[in-house]
Amino acid sequence: MRALIIGCGYVGEALGQRLIALGHEVTGIRRSSQHNNRLAKLGIRPLNLDITQEREFEKLDTHYDQVVIAVSPGRGGNEAYQKVFGLGVNHITKWLQRNAPTSVVFISSTSVYRQKNAEWVQEDIADIPENITSKILWEAEQKISTIEQAVTILRSSGIYGPGRSHLFRQFMDGNATIEGNGDRYLNMVHRDDLAEAITHSITNKDKLCGTFNITDDEPVKQLAFFKWLSKITNRPMPVFGPEPDPTTRKRGITNKRVSNKLFKEILGFQYNYPTFREGLIEELENWKAMP
Ligand SMILES: NC(=O)c1ccc[n+]([C@@H]2O[C@H](COP(=O)([O-])OP(=O)(O)OC[C@H]3O[C@@H](n4cnc5c(N)ncnc54)[C@H](OP(=O)(O)O)[C@@H]3O)[C@@H](O)[C@H]2O)c1
């Protein structure tokens, strides 16, 4: 089977390696060629194209059986987001209509849920997001879903894992702050669980079509998160700081507990990192091993 990962970054690389181990031929798209050698060493065929330029899709000259869209503008404001998830996703949608793969997985985000009162949120919540970037992403979900093939939308919570655990790093560097009274919930998922969930979606395509949250079992209040870190590392708690200003946060400020029940029920999916604890104990070991 030929798989194409559009946006072969942090999650895409981990996914590519899994798919190769399962015998798939994997091509990974990035805009820049900077990481081509690394991708090639992993066995992923690198392809450089910019999804915001429609003509660049001419570089996709082969049929792909599976397509995973895991693209992210990275840094940049609303404009960059609109370019990738508006214009770029329009181009991907048109290309998918011509290419007709057997399965399509779109990685979205739990930032599309606008809840602010610590409610549990499930996939059937139909409110349109408030925040601009979340609304752009939600519109991208709608757009991709218009193609004829079955589409699986996986809404990921905050991704952490090797080399990408921002709060952990801030805490270890003594730069973390507790926002307000620390009552806001964090929803997280380990990168490898997300990569595994995508792999499950591809390999169980007959069962899966629709929208699923991918997040670990335990949303945790910021205060409780730092208390746990402080206890296991024997380091002081971060200082308290002001509540964040929603206008400076790309994904706005929400406070919710995201449920992962549906994907587990339908697929019997098991998380290797059911809470932040398992993942961060590994990160702590990596941190201690650093020169
Ligand atoms: N990070 C989180 O906490 C989080 C939370 C929820 C959902 N998500 C979603 O999870 C998915 C994977 O995230 P990630 O952390 O793996 O992202 P990432 O490491 O930033 O990788 C994103 C990839 O997209 C590529 N890309 C960006 N703009 C492009 C363009 N115009 N044309 C072609 N490729 C382009 C980048 O290539 P270049 O580097 O060459 O530009 C990069 O390879 C994304 O869909 C993201 O929205 C992330």
How many residues are there in the chain? 291
Q: How far is the CA of 188 from the centre of ligand 1 (A)?
A: 17
Please say whether the dihedral angle defined by the alpha carbons of residues 236, 217, 128 and 83, taken in this order, is positive or negative.
Answer: positive
Q: Which residues approach ligand 1 with their CB closer than 6 A?
A: 7-12, 29-32, 50-52, 70-74, 84, 88, 107, 109, 156, 158-159
The whole-chain average pLDDT of the chain stands at 94
Task: Please check whether residue 138 lies inside any domain of the structure.
Answer: yes
Task: Please check whether residue 206 lies inside any domain of the structure.
Answer: yes
Cα–Cα distance for residue pair 211/151, rounded to 1 Å? 9
Task: Please check whether residue 14 lies inside any domain of the structure.
Answer: yes
Task: Please check whether residue 178 lies inside any domain of the structure.
Answer: no
Q: Tell me the three state secondary structure of residue 49.
A: coil
Given this model, what pLDDT does residue 243 score? Answer: 86
**Residue 21 burial (CB count, 10 A):** 10
- For 194-232, give one letter per residue: b (16+ CB within 10 A) or e: bbbbbbbbbbebeebeebbbbbbebbbbbbebbeebeee
**Residue 61 burial (CB count, 10 A):** 6
> pLDDT for 43-67, tens place per residue?
999 999 999 999 999 999 899 999 9
Given this model, what pLDDT does residue 248 score? Answer: 67
> pLDDT for 157-179, tens place per residue?
999 999 999 999 999 999 999 99
150 pLDDT exceeds 90? no
Atom number of ligand 1 nearest to Cα 74: 20
Given this model, what pLDDT does residue 207 score? Answer: 58
Atom number of ligand 1 nearest to Cα 83: 31
The terminus-to-terminus CA distance of the chain in angstroms comes to 41
Owning domain of residue 84: 2-161+188-216+259-271
- Give this prediction's pTM: 0.96
Mutation test of ligand 1: which of 6, 13, 30 has the most ligand atoms closer than 8 Å to its C-beta? 30
131: CATH:
3.40.50.720
Q: Work out how many domains the chain is built from and give that number.
A: 1
Task: Please check whether residue 254 lies inside any domain of the structure.
Answer: no
Residue tagged 């998918």 (tokens): 96
Task: Please check whether residue 83 lies inside any domain of the structure.
Answer: yes
> pLDDT for 79-99, tens place per residue?
999 999 999 999 999 999 998
